[in-house]
Structure 1
């Protein structure tokens, strides 16, 4: 079933999709679309909605694709005639239309497995940063009580089922209450080729060696450079919030290509 423009705009705003929202913000004289008409242009060139069709829509699509590459917004006035004037579209309507191009980048997704004390603290601190936190846990009452995650999934850790495959370069944090579940989730991330940018596990150094051995047995080609366990920077402290801060700080060093003393080292 084809989604409507309102649903698609919501996806852009939630960071689920990347694209440019084109809106007719003013019109002078005759024109093919009313003020307020909207069209979404996705990075692959596909569109949803309309700003009137014809040459105006084609030119708007070209402009939107260029903005996808530049990650910026844009305001442009199009002349709806075939004159030599700058901005002329070759149309014969005789009016003009001003379009606003609003770029929506894909929001970085953080998949957080485990809604316990550390998971709760992680969701709390990540909420203030430009990430979409997807919290997964098999304990419905604990999951329901969390108000910081952008999305909550009640799911068995032994199945680790996600309806939608995670977008490439997502971040994964594993903080369940059982090391066997930690291993199952870790193995699936690499066996399913989820292409993580980062995989952090709340673990001791002893647990690290056990997890790595099991991971390489299940997924020999796993990119261990993406694996951080114990997760976090060496900031000291052992409370849930102190541990969460060290992990969030570690994610920030990776996102911003900065250095830090990692606990895995």
Structure 2
């Protein structure tokens, strides 16, 4: 995932200061393949950073990368058929690129391999919010975490999370990045209602929020719907809100279980 890839990129750049590596990149694929084009791993003489997946495919790529690293030259791409010769039955084809790297390549790599993160705005730093922030940390999202309460955020939030205080909390909605996935789980229903209303007003004006999710039950959403209709929001506008949030079929109510279900739902929006 993207933030994991960002961590791997930092490890790669630090490693190049001590010695060369061979960058193995999935250049293209056809049919079933273990990873997507752009996936990469860096092969040093004594360690690995990242992964291109595929079990025997990756083992073969590591062997080839170390051979090229030892000989000091790039010999062009390698075609790998995911069939019996690799002990696999996927049936696809993967083309791998190999590139020898040294410390002088670090600035260009930082620009080239940095992952693209999609914005998520998480309103609420309660138990579910905390669990969700931890689950989202290695995923391809840029998290803005917002609460109206002072001192609610831990001094060591999950990597990459930007913590903000907003009072009133709905005042943060107009400044959210375009394309944000918004998750609403504040400490009280009154705040939740104002947040939903603020998101719908933004949608009415800009239609640029990718997802609006509200934690709660069907009775909670029925009550919210009545109040929002009373404020002039149409059924079509209310249909933009997902409540309850989380992929169907996961019944657990523990914060960590809810967090996994919501994170999986966000991944479906990519």
Q: TM-score, length-normalised on structure 2?
A: 0.52
- Which protein has the bigger helix share? 2
Contact 2:128/2:256 (CA < 8 Å) preserved in 1? yes
Contact 2:124/2:187 (CA < 8 Å) preserved in 1? yes
Cα distance in structure 2, aligned partners of 1:181 and 1:124: 23
1:232 aligns with 2:246: yes
Secondary structure of 2:269's aligned partner: helix
Could you tell me which runs of 5 or more consecutive residues in structure 1 were left unpaired when the two chains were aligned. Answer: 1-12, 14-70, 73-99, 256-265
1:121 aligns with 2:131: yes
Could you tell me which runs of 5 or more consecutive residues in structure 2 were left unpaired when the two chains were aligned. Answer: 1-5, 7-36, 39-107
- Pairwise CA distance, 1:106: 5.3
Alignment of 1:58-69 (within 5 A): none
Cα distance in structure 2, aligned partners of 1:208 and 1:169: 24
Change (3 A) 1:235 1:192: same
Change (3 A) 1:112 1:167: same
Q: Which has the higher contact order (CA 8 A, sep 6+)?
A: 2
1:132 aligns with 2:142: yes
Alignment of 1:1-265 (within 5 A): 102=112, 107-145=117-155, 147-148=157-158, 150-156=161-167, 158-162=168-172, 165-193=175-203, 195-216=208-229, 217-220=231-234, 223-233=237-247, 234-255=249-270
Change (3 A) 1:122 1:108: same
Q: How big is the alpha-carbon RMSD for the aligned residues of Structure 1 and Structure 2?
A: 3.0
Change (3 A) 1:235 1:107: same
Contact 1:172/1:198 (CA < 8 Å) preserved in 2? yes
What is aligned with 1:57?
A: none
Contact 2:143/2:161 (CA < 8 Å) preserved in 1? yes
Cα distance in structure 1, aligned partners of 2:198 and 2:252: 31
Cα distance in structure 2, aligned partners of 1:164 and 1:137: 15
Cα distance in structure 2, aligned partners of 1:108 and 1:150: 13
Contact 1:111/1:133 (CA < 8 Å) preserved in 2? yes
Contact 1:114/1:135 (CA < 8 Å) preserved in 2? yes
